[in-house]
Amino acid sequence: MQDYGADFSVVYDKYWSGFSTNYAPLLRQFLEERLALPPGRPRRLVDLCCGNGRLTAHFAAAGWQVTGLDRSPAMLERAAANNLEAVKAGAVRLVEADAASFRLEGRSHAVVSTFDALNHLDSLDTLAACFGCVRASLVAGGIFIFDLNTRQSLHRWTDHSVQEEPDATIIRNGLFVPEIGKAWLEIKGFLRQADGSYRAFREMMFNTVFDLAAVRAALLAAGFGAVETFRGGAALEPTQDPEAERRVFFVATAP
């Protein structure tokens, strides 16, 4: 997984929280309908690669007990700030760990990873290791939901943009190299500080293109039973041709 600096975590929290915020209610409804847990029974979730903790906050506000896991200390600081009361109440626990090598005490009813976080893993072997960790974290009947950028999406990363905000200038330079199945995105710019000065920041992130049939096979090899694919939107709609989508959601159930 990738780590991120303090200034970038501020920029991310302020300008790129929309995906997790928008999908959180949809994913919660999907999980609650699928799991059908009795009223009053504790519901436990792992927010894998939780970032700034916006999805964590939504589930905690709905009564879930949430473990937010991320490799980046800076992102976990943002997550703590966005979940202050829930952390104090014990409804949210934040853990610094790598998605491909974590171990948690106890088991959860669901694990969710959003905004193509798992594309940041560098190989199918690393992704498979992540799946093993997730499977070990779930109860029988537990559900793992995650989304991936597909090749259809990542070939659009070759682009350049400048975003001007009142307190930041954000420059993005992207490149997709189809021969090796990798996309890179340089994000840099200037962030206004409390004293009115501006400080430069720069982050480089990558996405790996995964063969989606191989992803399905890796989930089954990790011990999951049913594996389904969905396209995103106002609702999760099943798709039989995930490679044709720009973004695909996997739903894997532990037997």
Enumerate the CATH 3.40.50.150 domain ranges in the chain, comma separated: 6-151+211-253
| Superfamily name with CATH number, domain 6-151+211-253 | Vaccinia Virus protein VP39 (3.40.50.150)
70 neighbors 92 (Cβ within 8 angstroms): no
Q: Specify the residue for token string 């990542």.
A: 154
| pLDDT for the residue 83 | 98
The amino acid occupying position 48 is L
Distance CA 91, CA 231 (A): 31
| pLDDT for the residue 6 | 86
| pLDDT for the residue 108 | 99
Tokens of 65: 């007990």
What is the mean pLDDT of the segment spanning 236-240?
Answer: 95
Percent of the chain with pLDDT over 90: 93
The terminus-to-terminus CA distance of the chain in angstroms comes to 28
Enumerate the CATH 2.20.25 domain ranges in the chain, comma separated: 153-208
Distance of CA 200 to the CA centre of its chain: 26
pLDDT tens, residue by residue, 75-103: 999 999 999 999 999 999 999 999 999 99
Give the phi and the psi of residue 128 in degrees, each rounded to 5: -65, -40
With cut-offs at 50, 70 and 90, classify the pLDDT of residue 173. Answer: very high
pLDDT tens, residue by residue, 181-205: 999 999 999 999 999 999 999 999 9
Q: Specify the residue for token string 């939107």.
A: 233
Distance CA 31, CA 5 (A): 32
| pLDDT for the residue 232 | 86
What is the mean pLDDT of the segment spanning 1-11?
Answer: 80
* pTM of the entire predicted model: 0.95
Distance CA 81, CA 86 (A): 10
Tokens of 118: 């798992």
With cut-offs at 50, 70 and 90, classify the pLDDT of residue 234. Answer: confident
151 neighbors 209 (Cβ within 8 angstroms): yes
| pLDDT for the residue 238 | 97
The amino acid occupying position 22 is N
Distance CA 109, CA 31 (A): 9
Angle at 73 between CA 70 and CA 74, to 5 degrees: 110
Mean pLDDT of the chain: 96
Distance CA 200, CA 7 (A): 9
CA 124 to each of CA 47, 118, 157: distance values in angstroms, whole numbers, following the listed order: 21, 10, 21
Neighbouring C-alpha atoms within 13 Å toward the C-beta of 47: 32
- What is the dotted CATH code of the domain comprising 153-208? 2.20.25
58-97 CB burial, b ≥16 within 10 A, e <16: bbbeeebbbbbbbbbebbbbbbbebbeebbeeebbbbeeb
What is the mean pLDDT of the segment spanning 156-161?
Answer: 94
